[in-house]
Structures are given as structure tokens and as C-alpha cells.
Structure 1
Amino acid sequence: MRIAVWGGGSLGLLWSARLASKFDHLLLVTHSERQADAINRAGIDLTNQAGEQKNLKVRAKQADLVMEDAPFDMILVMVKQYHLPVVFALLQKAVHPGTQVLFFQNGWGHQTLLQELSSSCRTYLVVTTEGALKCGDQQVIHTGKGISRVGAFPGKQAEPSPALQELFVKTGPGLFQYDENVLQRVWEKLTINCVINPMTAWYEIRNGELLNPEYEEEKKAILAEVIHVASLEGIQLSEQHMWKQIQQVCLQTAMNLSSMLQDLNNKRVTEIDFMNGAIVRLGKKHRVETPANWLWVSRIQEKEKFML
């Protein structure tokens, strides 16, 4: 099976390192030629949660050269949401009718792209709880063990395809799980991200500090709007259950910096438009006000202008 991992960020490096020894034909597709050259020259240095480091040989190519290896049988798309429109044009040329394309993006907004691509191949949404930190072009630390839930989109598919089953088996137990209700999982993760990401990024605090009672009112205001908008989109979320999930994530990742705070610290554009921004857009679609989420979009956009 010919596999491409598309994106040289933290998850792309982590999964490339994991899969390289299990599949003969694996290619990491990077944005820059510099990163591809570094990985081809030195491999990927992966540090596990115990602090042990391994060097794994991985073949990489800059995205403009990817058609030399296409088409692929499976593509794991791990770029940021805002890079998808550019990547999408290449993806359309890199697939065949049986290609399985797995999208690992946070947030909401790429579903229309999946619907368009699904006429050419088989498309899936992935919700992952894996944690990783990129420390250089070819260095990554695995910061949190998690599971990646995979489900067909658009439409439903009760069982994983043979190609997906091969991926699940070769990666080992506990890393992947097929979930035909993946859209529900996407909304659950979106809800958590809409609360934790902008607040930690604005206040410049670690996740665990959000457990302080002084933040409770703002957290609940965001949550209530997301729950309401989700219901208008046909997704039923329990406010009580999601509150518990948010508190649990803050506790379990207490020392972590959210991805949005990391983006700002590293002078990168955030994914606010695909988190709280998506809630604002969907609110407008259904003609409901979302002032709390609009406030957080405004705050983070203001901070982006100042920090980028």
C-alpha cells in the first residue's frame, strides 16, 4: 500500500515516524523543501513519553514534487485548516477511486471540501486525542497518548474498509478506532476547543489554569452558544456532559499549552476562524446571535495582529 502523510507539523512527524517501518512505500509531504531535505538527510528524531529517543528513516518530498509518487492508496492529511484549500488542488490529482483520504483537522469548515473530493475517492474524518510537539524540522516529542477515531464522511459506513483495517492492524492496538458516528465526535472536540483554545491563548495560561473559578462564567457562555448552534445543525450535545469533558481535559492536560497559544507564541496564524469563527458563521446561517464566540474571535484576531 502506497501511503502519504501530508503535512510536516507535529502530528505529521509523529505518524510518519510510526508508520515508516510498517509500510514499504510511505512518503511524508512537506510544505518546504528545507524540511524535506532535513528529513531525507537525518530522518525523524522521535522522543517518547518516557524521554527515550529514536531516529527513524523517513522519505520526504516538498508538496510541489508529490505527483512524482502519485497516486496514493491512502493519504493522511495533517495540515492546518487554513492550508487545506491550497493542498486540496494537489490532493485531487494524487488519488484514484479506491484511495482512502483521512482528514485530521481540528475545527469546522473543511467538510465541503470532503464532499467535493468524495466523488473521486473515499473520504474520512478523524478526531484524535494524540498529543505531539514539534521541536524542529525533523524532531518531535510524543506528549500524550491518545486514540484516533475514524469515520466515513459524507454519509455513513458501518465498517472500516479493508485498507483501513490494514492500517489499524499494522499500527497496533489502541491507536485507531472506527466510529460511524464520527460527526458527533467532531462536534464534541470542536466544543472543547472553542472553550479551551481561545481563553488560554488570550490569557496566556496553561490549560489547567482554566479550572480557576474566575474563568467559569466565560467558559459557560461559550459552551451554551456552541450547544445551541450544534442543535440547529442536527447535533445533540449535553451541556452537562460537555462541561464535565472540558473540566476533565483541563485537568488531564493541566501543564500543556493549547495549540492556539503555541501558534501565537510561535508567530503563526491560529485556527480561530475554524473554531469559534465557525460557530459565529453557523449562528448567522440560522439567524441566532453568538456574542460570546464573536467576542473571542475578535480578541484572538486582535492578538494575531499584535503578535504576528
Structure 2
Amino acid sequence: MAIKKVCIIGLGALGILYGHHLTKRMPKGDLRIIADQERIRRYQSDSVFCNGERCEFNYLAPEDVEEPADLIIFAVKYSGLNDAIKAVKNQVGEHTIILSALNGITSERIIGQTYGIDKILYCVAQGMDAVKVGNRATYDHMGMLVFGEQEPGFISERVREVARFFESMAVPFEAVTDMNKRIWGKFMLNVGVNQTVAVYESNYGEIQKEGAARDTMIAAMREVMVLSEKEGTNLTELDLKYWLNVLDPLCPEGKPSMRQDMEAKRFSEVDLFSGAVLELGKKYGVSTPVNEELYRRIKEKEAQYHLLA
């Protein structure tokens, strides 16, 4: 079955980046951006821009009924996941494939509880340096989507379908047979990069060079490595090196999503990162002092929001 109808839910930096890219290559009616009526009115009134170009999106409200999508891409924040799951209900059909580009290690399981894990391909978005300010997203590196089945060792026909579609759309991708390790590796990167840049109030450039920030980032990542052994994923120093190599080419002035959230005085996804690390540390009796300190400092910063309002 060829993929023709695609839905994206979530117009953060990643959703805008991939949505704008696909609008240039798909018939307008075949790509749908799912959003509630209030957001749609705002998007249509203010417009949405990607690298300075106005995005020509085709919006669809949750209550609208159309032919089910062949592919749905979740690009929302974790805090919006439950609402997003409800919002795509009318777009999910018997053969729909779902990709979740959310951070963390739990979104696929949560989506699968509603629509069935058999509809989910595990996915990570890596290597992009997109930044969103207001209704404008900019990026230097598009990065890629990495996806595969939860079970290791094989490339399924569903994976091949998505690969063929992305190839035809010139979307950078990698289809892999070790998605559990890749998801944990991206989690390790997020724990290190997002939190360190947020706490140091800096950007990618600060952690691409030697110094205190980069040392903190790597120490936080190594705590995830220890936990991955307990979980049976077994990240190694080679995995750490791989993800540091993903980080190094990013635009030095770019910033991860957590830093962008904190600049805008929005509550971050810290509970997905150090929050999850602390829970796993307690579960396995593993000390996680670096993540404990990052968690404390981020929560401390967020506690000041109401004082600055």
C-alpha cells in the first residue's frame, strides 16, 4: 500500500519543518495539519513561516471526517500528547501507520494504548537544529527521521512503505533494526543537551566546545548509560560518541526545545528527562547526582515564572 494521505499534529519547530517540506511535494489535500478551531484561526490569521517562507498548510479540525490517513506524524510536546491522541481519532483507519517524533521513551506506548501498538513504528527525530520563535521556524540542518519496528532484527513491509514514501518526498531518513537502542540513545542525548543548555542559559555552541557545560552534558549522559544496562539496552561509549557526533554539526547559535521553552517562560519537559532518570535511578538503586542537580535547577527556574509575570 503506497502512502498518499499524511497527517501531522503539532506545529512546533519540527512539525513546521517537515510540514513545510512536504507541502512543496504533495498535493495540498493529501497533507493535513490537525489542529483545533482556535489554533486554525490563529494560524490562518497570523500565518506560519519556515525559513522566511509562508507555509501553505491545509488545516483539518479534529471533528472533521475525511478519508483515513496512511501516515500520521505526532510532533507535539509531551504535555499535549493526550489531547493529540484524541484529536487524530477521525484520521486513524485500519491501515494507518503512526510515527511519534516526541522526546522521551514512552510516547509510542501511550499512543499504542489507544490505537494499538500494531499501528506504531518507533521513531526518533535527530540532527535538526530548528528553532521556533512565535509563528516562525528557522533551521540550518533538517536532520532525519529514524524509524523501525519495536522488535529488533528485521525490516518489515510497513517500514519499507514509509521508507519509500520518505525517499519519494526527499525526506532524510534511516530505517533501522535496533530502534530500542536508538530511542534510548536519543533519550541520552536529550538528557544531556536539553537540560545543560537550559541550565547554562546558552546554545549548542556552548556544549560543542570543551568546558564546564560540555562536561556536565556528558556526565548526565553517562548516568543514562548506566541505567540502560539495567533496562537491557546496554548503551556504550561508542553510542555516546555517535550521539556527540550528531550534536557537533548543529548550528552553534541554535537551541534545543527546552531552552526555547524556558526563554518563553513555558514549563519544560524536564520530567521526561531528568525526572525519568531519577525514577529509574530509584527503581534500580543507581545514583544519579548530575541529573538530580539539573532537575533541581530547572525546577527552580520554572518556579520563578509566576514572579516574573
**Structure 1 residue ranges (4+ consecutive) displaced by more than 6 angstroms after TM superposition:** none
Give the aligned partner of residue 239 of structure 1: 237
CA contact (8 A) 1:191 1:223 kept: yes
Q: Percent identity?
A: 22
Q: Say if 2:122 and 2:149, in contact at 8 Å, map to a contact too.
A: yes
- Return closer, same or farther for 1:87/1:34 CA change in 2, 3 Å cut-off: closer
Instruction: Indicate yes or no: 2:9 matched with 1:6.
Output: yes
CA RMSD of aligned residues (A): 2.7
Which of residues 46, 51, 66 is equivalent to 2:50?
46
From 72, 83, 88, the counterpart of 1:75:
72
1:40 is displaced (CA, Å) by 4.3
Give the direction of change, closer, same or farther, for the CA distance of 1:213–1:58 in structure 2 (3 Å limit): closer
- CA deviation vs aligned residue, 1:259-297 (integer Å, no higher than 9, x gap): 211110011121111112111122222232323212211
**Corresponding residue for 2:34?**
29
2:186 corresponds to 1:189: yes
* 244-253 vs 146-155, greater mean Cα deviation: 244-253
Q: Is 1:177–2:182 an aligned residue pair?
A: no
Asked whether the equivalents of residues 28 and 60 of structure 1 are also in contact (C-alpha less than 8 Å), the reply is yes
Structure 1: which amino acid aligns with 2:212? E
Residues 40 and 192 of structure 1: is their aligned pair in 2 closer, same or farther, counting only changes over 3 Å? same
Length-normalised TM-score, structure 1: 0.85
Match of 2:262 in 1: 264
Q: CA deviation at 1:243?
A: 5.0
C-alpha contact (below 8 Å) 1:264/1:270 kept by paired residues:
yes
Tell me, which stretches of 5 or more residues in structure 1 are unaligned? Answer: 48-52
Flag the 1:115–1:283 CA change in 2: closer, same or farther, 3 A: farther
Q: Pairwise mapping of residues 106-125 of structure 1 onto structure 2 (< 5 A)? A: 106-117=103-114, 119=116, 122-125=119-122
How far is the alpha carbon of 1:169 from its aligned partner?
2.9
Q: Deviations over 1:109-147 (max 9, x none)?
A: 32421442462752122222223222443x322332312
Give the structure 2 partner of residue 50 of structure 1. Answer: none
User: Structure 2: which 5+ residue stretches go unaligned?
Assistant: none
TM superposition shift of 1:228: 0.6
8 Å CA contact 2:112–2:118 kept in 1: the answer is: no
Distance 1:251 1:23, change over 3 A: closer
**Conserved 8 A contact 1:127-1:185:** yes
Work out whether residues 200 and 213 of structure 2, in 8 Å CA contact, stay in contact via their aligned partners in 1.
no
Identify which of 289, 292, 296 aligns with 2:290: 292
TM-score, normalising length: structure 2: 0.84
